[in-house]
Amino acid sequence: MGTEDDDVRVGNPERERVISLLNDAFSTGYLDITEFEERTGVVYSARTRGELKPLVADLPNGSALFHGSAIAGSAISASGPLVGGGQPLELNIDWDTVRKKGSWQVPPRLSARGSMGNLHMDVRSAAFTTAVVELELQVSASTVKLRLGPDHEVRYDELSTSGWSDVKDKAGPPTRPGGPVIIVRGSLSAASSLSIRR
């Protein structure tokens, strides 16, 4: 890709690709935590390829950023079909704690992004608007806690972890069938954790 492509606009698939490359670079020691946080902070405000390229240009895996014009399509198909339509409910946990609990309405899609933060999501008394909900995580050095009711199910096989991150699933299977399903996608990096319990 030459400089003539620098003005091409980017969307979430390209931004998520950069986050994935930065996660890999951090977990293998090419970036320290400060550099990682600085670069990931820029990713979410980037509008063009020219703004994304410098973030990975000096990394060994940086050449994998754009594979021709098919990058957006390949990124979307890799993550599978999106749930519902429209924009997700954006939860910014950058150096903050966000709590969703009590009687609240769960939209078809949620997105939590940030570093050094916490997300506490309790759906026991929540009203689901769809049978399947997508929760996309792009977090580093953060903690995500999901509290489920007896009929809720969580699937996280499409969630990637790096840099000593992990998933602690203490919920077990639903005790009542037919409840809503929460599909967790995206990435946990820099010693982040996802904790699931009932």
Could you report the per-residue pLDDT of 41-58, keeping only the tens digit for each?
A: 788 788 898 898 888 888
What percent of the chain shows pLDDT beyond 90?
Answer: 43
In 65-163, beta strands by DSSP E: 89-92, 97-100, 105-106, 109-115, 118-122, 127-128, 132-140, 143-147, 153-161
- The pTM assigned to this predicted structure is 0.59
| Residue located via tokens 């703004």 | 51
Q: Which residues pair with 158 in a beta bridge?
A: 185
Chain mean position to CA 93: 12
Among 2-6, 19-23, 139-143, 154-158, the least confident range: 2-6
Residue type, 51: E
**C-alpha–C-alpha distance, residues 187 and 193, integer Å:** 10
For residues 13 and 71, is the Cβ–Cβ distance under 8 A? yes
pLDDT (0 to 100) of residue 77: 30
Could you report the per-residue pLDDT of 109-130, keeping only the tens digit for each?
A: 999 999 999 999 999 999 988 8
For residues 44 and 87, is the Cβ–Cβ distance under 8 A? no
| Residue located via tokens 């951090």 | 26
Give yes or no for residue 81 having a pLDDT over 60: no
Greater model confidence, 94 or 82: 94
